A and B are shown apart, each in its own frame.
Chain A
Amino acid sequence: MTAAPGARSRFGVPDRLAGSRRLQLAVIGLPVALWILWWLGGSYFTLLIQSFWVTDGFSVKPLWNLDSYIKIFSQDYFLKTLAKSFLIAGVTVLVATLLAFPVAYFITFKMTRRKSLGYVMVIVPLWVSYLVRAYAWKVILGEQGFLNTALMNVGLIHEPLTFLLYSPFAVILTLTHIYTPFMILTIYAVLEHIPAAYIEASRDLGAGGLRTFIRVTLPLAMPGILAGGLFSFGLAAGDFVAPLLVGGPDAVMISNIIASQFGAANDWPLGAALAAVMLAAMIVVIRLASWVEARSLT
């Protein structure tokens, strides 16, 4: 890029200093880059390598083969569990979005005076440990739990409902509870940055409140919904605590299987291969989401 003499870069620094600016950024960025490369890149690399090795008793031997991958793709158990994990995560994100959007909308546009109060009320539950919140659902949903006791006392049911706990339903409920605040925060962040003039312009051009919402507010909020959704989807699909605590046998997720390969099942190469397959599937989902976003905005 050439620039007129005296031109200034985006940072307001004269272009002739931009080179040294780049140097500064490199100096500041280098430790972070190395840190990520070593710890994150290094572990992914080790994982990928090990997925092509074999297990031998209590150690992993560097004998190159594709056994683990063949095992994954020849038995539909693994792929089905992966699909189920993505399904559970997908439903979670969908429900969380439907719950989060009205809340974010309300905080942004209706709580004009007490916005920070609304914001804090969303954040406060995040201060409670994930485990505690997951356990809380056990207390609520169990056979002797709060919900069943209450329903029986009211006389609506005579026997405890057993489908509440230890089911995919319980996992989705717990995950939704955990990721809805994140969805609220990301959606709030985009709604907050939609200039009021866009909404006024839509009304000015004759659109009512609902049409303005559908044609203007919602499309402009899409990046936030996608970002929050992707974030929650990734974490929910890879969750192994909720299925462990409230899931039961029907709600085993891919991360539970991966974890057990590194534990009780003691098949590290298979665990590594499963992780690699999951990572690949996740990348596909992310690419898909950014394609949707690009299409909706350019």
Chain B
Amino acid sequence: MTAPAIHTDGASLPGSPPGREVAVRLIGTTKRYGALTAVDALDLEVQRGEFLALLGPSGCGKTTTLRMIGGFETPDSGAIEIDGVDVTRRPPDRRPVNTVFQSYALFPHMSVTDNVEYGLRVRGVDRAASKRAVEEVLALVGLQDVGGKRPRQLSGGMQQRVALARALVLKPTVLLLDEPLGSLDLKFRKQMQVELRRLHREVGGTFIHVTHDQEEAMTMADRICIMRSGRIMQMGSPTEIYDEPNSRYVAGFIGSTSFLEGTVSAVDGGMAVISVPGAGDLRARLGQPLAVGAAASFSVRPEQVVVGGAATGDGTSVTGRLVDLLPTGAASMARVAVGGAEVVAQVSRSFSAAIGDELVLGWDAVAARAFEGPKQ
């Protein structure tokens, strides 16, 4: 399948507030490593002041995209503009962007202060002004008293903050974040997600954040760009992508969802009927254009499934057997065998049923989705 067309005239982008300037623009940018195409004719626009997440599994091209914006990789074809200026062949030191590296890359032979001050010294900022800027930015990231320490004397979370401070002190047009939370433990990661959002609000710059963690992207980003095999699959706000995924891949990648595989037996208006062996004819809204007879996936999210209603007989319910009931805290997840597959339904904590019980699962046909079936 093909990605939706991206407008390159700076006008309306799906999910972006209208009338804002473009900070970064990639035009047909391609990067190959031997026979592998890491980034495939990518068109991308990042609005000034937005927090964009590049999301995808490893090898989807998100990091290569970030490195091309940072200047560490040169595209084989296409162009990169920052602030309307073509920087495609410019080295990293001549671009108004700064990077927070995955490994932080703090200079081990310099103190925290010297690390943060490095970029200012390079720019020839005088000592007094740079000292003040360093103090301010260290306060901003919540690190006041560690200026004299070496990076290795700090915890991972603190090193992360130093790396942020070192990049932010230069007030870059765009801040690039290369999976900076990847090596933190879960508790710290949650804390840093909140922290990064706060920093983004306070600093007001453009942030591009690479991650493979969909939850992280959902929590932090204004807009998410989902990538796969060097291409953009879908772009939009987190709720847009969650509510209106445009493919089976995106629906499966963002949030959790259950799929039942079948063939399209009817298409009417925006709705489709999918014949699923062992489950009958199921009605769902079209997530993407489908032709009658095509292989299709019926998709429904756990919180959209209602357990225990009456069988409707109009394709908005199905009968299955309870396989397992998993408590997750606030609610429980019921795994129900339907045909040869499984549908997960979110149920209240008080829900009780025995394994093997027959259950009727219902849904609103407008909430369920029909997608192209998985590629064989």
Decide yes or no whether A200 CB sits under 8 A from chain B: yes
Q: Across the interface, do A200 and B92 meet the contact criterion of CB distance under 8 Å?
A: yes
Number of interface residues of B (CB under 8 A): 25
**B95 closest partner in A (C-beta):** A204
Chain B residues within 8 Å of A297, by CB = 108-109
Interface bits A190-212 vs B (CB < 8 Å: 1, else 0): 00000101101111111110010
Q: Across the interface, do B109 and A205 meet the contact criterion of CB distance under 8 Å?
A: no
Q: Across the interface, do B109 and A201 meet the contact criterion of CB distance under 8 Å?
A: no
Interface bits A122-149 vs B (CB < 8 Å: 1, else 0): 0000000000000000000000000000
Q: Is the interface of B mostly helix, strand, loop or mixed?
A: loop
A203 to B122, CA, bound (A): 10
| Residues of B67-122 whose CB lies within 8 A of A | 70-72, 91-93, 97-99, 101-103, 105-109, 118-119, 122
Q: Can you list 8 A-B pairs, Cβ within 8 angstroms, ordered by A?
A: A200-B105, A204-B167, A205-B119, A206-B119, A206-B122, A207-B118, A208-B93, A216-B107
User: Per a CB cutoff under 8 Å, which of A195, A198, A203, A296 touches B92?
Assistant: A203
Chain B residues within 8 Å of A206, by CB = 93, 119, 122-123, 170
Interface bits A174-201 vs B (CB < 8 Å: 1, else 0): 0000000000000000000001011011
Decide yes or no whether B150 CB sits under 8 A from chain A: yes
A203 to B119, CA, bound (A): 9
Chain A residues within 8 Å of B167, by CB = 204-205
Decide yes or no whether B166 CB sits under 8 A from chain A: yes
Chain B residues within 8 Å of A215, by CB = 118
A19 to B294, CA, bound (A): 67
User: Per a CB cutoff under 8 Å, which of A197, A198, A204 touches B98?
Assistant: A204
Q: Across the interface, do A204 and B108 meet the contact criterion of CB distance under 8 Å?
A: no
Q: Across the interface, do A195 and B93 meet the contact criterion of CB distance under 8 Å?
A: no
Q: Across the interface, do B150 and A207 meet the contact criterion of CB distance under 8 Å?
A: no
Number of A-B contacts (CB under 8 A): 65
A198 to B99, CA, bound (A): 12
Decide yes or no whether A219 CB sits under 8 A from chain B: yes
**A208 closest partner in B (C-beta):** B93
**Which of B72, B150, B166 counts the most A-chain CB atoms under 10 A from its CB?**
B72
Chain A residues within 8 Å of B71, by CB = 203-204
Chain B residues within 8 Å of A244, by CB = none
Q: Across the interface, do B109 and A195 meet the contact criterion of CB distance under 8 Å?
A: no
User: Per a CB cutoff under 8 Å, which of A197, A203, A296, A298 touches B103?
Assistant: A197
Q: Across the interface, do A205 and B103 meet the contact criterion of CB distance under 8 Å?
A: no
Q: Please report A residues at the B interface, Cβ cutoff 8 Å.
A: 195, 197-198, 200-208, 211, 215-216, 219-220, 296-298
Q: Across the interface, do A197 and B105 meet the contact criterion of CB distance under 8 Å?
A: yes
The list of the 10 closest CB pairs from A to B, nearest first, reads: A205-B119, A197-B105, A201-B105, A203-B92, A206-B122, A207-B122, A219-B109, A204-B99, A204-B92, A206-B93
A201 to B109, CA, bound (A): 14
Q: Across the interface, do B98 and A195 meet the contact criterion of CB distance under 8 Å?
A: no
Q: Across the interface, do A198 and B93 meet the contact criterion of CB distance under 8 Å?
A: no
A206 to B123, CA, bound (A): 7
A213 to chain B minimum Cβ distance, whole angstroms, is 13
A297 to B118, CA, bound (A): 17
Chain B residues within 8 Å of A208, by CB = 91, 93
Q: A197-B101, A204-B93, A207-B118 are in contact. List 16 more A-B contacts (CB 8 A).
A: A197-B102, A197-B105, A198-B105, A198-B108, A200-B92, A200-B101, A201-B105, A202-B118, A204-B98, A205-B93, A205-B118, A206-B119, A208-B91, A211-B122, A219-B109, A297-B109
A159 to chain B minimum Cβ distance, whole angstroms, is 53
Known: A204-B92, A205-B166, A207-B93. A195 touches B105 (CB 8 A): yes
User: Per a CB cutoff under 8 Å, which of A198, A205, A220 touches B170?
Assistant: A205
A219 to chain B minimum Cβ distance, whole angstroms, is 5
Chain B residues within 8 Å of A204, by CB = 70-72, 92-93, 97-99, 167
A220 to B109, CA, bound (A): 7
Interface bits B22-48 vs A (CB < 8 Å: 1, else 0): 000000000000000000000000000
